[in-house]
Structure 1
Amino acid sequence: MDVTFSGEPTRIVAIEDATQIGQARRVAQLAAGGAGFDATDAGRVALVTTELATNVLKHARSGEIHISVVQGDGAYGVEVTAVDRGPGFNLADCLPDGFSTGGTRGEGLGAVRRQSDVMDMYADHRGSVVMARLYPKGFARADIRFAATQQLMQDETVCGDGWGVALDKDKVSILLVDGLGHGMSAHEAANAALATFREAPLEEPVNLMGALNTGMTGTRGGAVAVAQYLRESGVLRYAGIGNIAGGLLTIDGSRGLASHPGIVGVQARRAQSFDFPHSQGKLLLMYSDGLQSRWNHKEYPGLPNRHPGVVTALLYRDFNRGRDDTTILAMTLGTGL
């Protein structure tokens, strides 16, 4: 598999009344069209979105639907995620048809599971996150256990963050850039980093950071981190400059990923990379400073074992600062990518 891709801000539709269910469905169908889905597959996306949005309104009274196009191995898919702060639910009880906490026929999540290629969820007293991914029928599916939730600062028209991912048979390379500040100048800095990354995304991290520093010269610069997972050895190699935060998570604990001070493209010293052996099976997490850094995954039992799409949406729900561009990346390392 040789894949290089980057993403756009997540489409987020508030669900506070019945009219917004239709809005979420229309946004999801547009995403499906952009991903190359035919009418039948776009209909599956519409059905899943309707069911998830209806469940949010009925059981939590309000919430959000997050919609994004995702890259699979050989085809694009659509990810639809319901996010709420309702009473939560018992996962085992809610999947079988006929179970309902809202006086309905209880077919919603069962229908979502049947129509989706990948489905996962997390629920507790803080609310629930239900994620579904759909790929075109007939596609020899291989879901990439990677996810990104990105949102631009309120009242801005462009995002100053950017991210990219590249995969081949030997390694996985992930870039996260946070252009200094926000708005168009930050957006231009992030785009310069992405253009450089696409030229040689699998280059060794220190050399890649040097190229990024050159590529971002003349922009306002920004914070940058590169994470590379070496498939054969199970080592994660990480280099960062600026305030990109990261960690390796398991059920038992976490390990922080260090970045050095500086601004790539403006005043960055030569990067240094750090190796983290035995990273296979761990959850890699990287995020810009639009997300609060003071949170503890142990307060969310089992979260590192959930699909990355659930993890990024949940963290956005609970720890988004709301006053900057925000990007959260997550990948389960070495699990059939």
Structure 2
Amino acid sequence: MSGWKKWAPMLLALALGTASMAQAATQTIKDVLGREVKVDLPAKRVLLGFYFEDYMAIGGEKAFDKVVGISRDAWEGWRPANWAVFTAHRPSLASLPDVGEVEVQTFSVEKVLALKPDVVVLADWQYKGLGPDVKRLEDAGLPVVVVDYNMELQANHYLSTVLLGKIAGEDKRAQQIANEYKAAVDQVQSRIAAAKLPKPRLYVEFGNKGPAEYSFSYGKGMWGALSTLAGGDNIAAPFVEWYGPMNPEKVLSAQPEVVFIAGTEATKNPSSMLIGQGVERAVAQQRLLAFTQRSGWTNLPAVKNKRVYGVYQGASRTVADYVMVQFMAKALYPSLFKDLDPEANYLDFYRRYLPVVPKGTFTVGM
């Protein structure tokens, strides 16, 4: 943690610059890729590619008064129940222009240019996926700022939060949220370090394909990185660099002591891990238990000891995902975190920073 403490002040200074937030002014900021970007801040017209809830939490609901377009499928398509909750509260979200989605190659530079934003905010994976199209935006005079929560790097979470606050004109609020994230992760890691216990072996899988087929596990990013922050020994790390399925035999031979199956509210696959907005706990448990019936899994330590858990995919890659670090750490080291209630902390984040509070199941055990 000493390295993190060393870098935090410098990251904050890089993001905040020197100009006052009292009035809009052209400022040079550094994004998570270290790119220097000149942009008028706070921005009056924002094109938002991803991290929609984070932007609203950090900037307040009023921040969306300045959003002129979004990559809609990355919200509505991926998390339809969550989208429905937000649009029921704020119907104007449904009328925001859609510029397309990067992963399915529908993102339209022409649509972005037509909206004339002051700044284009992209996730790191979107920036890399767009390739030369980013230069087309910049050549047209549009500043592009890259933020990142997907990699689950503490420095990126912190800096991205500060940057979004600066774009929205909410430095103080952003600083508070960034500090809360840091404090929560620090608490988990300091307790684990003090206990000096062996790292439990864990396996994480996105359960979107159901028990019949092994889906993505994670190496450096997302759930792989979250499991590292939570003090686990990720069995996928030697075999999966970023994300991809593990060979079932390798999972069995690694004998994980704890298993996490991630899921969403999506109902396209009738056997997928179902968890999230509007999902009843009993239903989430049923779906989770089905994974333990896979061939060979009854002999896994995690299954024998009932240490198989469901986690909500929508609660990863966000500034609020410190609650998933807490949940995973509590599953890995139950004696160290009896005082923590991660799911309650997740809902409390919404109560404090967002205009809606989701209802459903976001963590579950056997």
Same fold (TM over 0.5): no
Larger radius of gyration: 2
TM-score relative to the length of structure 2: 0.32
Structure having the higher strand fraction is 1
TM-score relative to the length of structure 1: 0.34
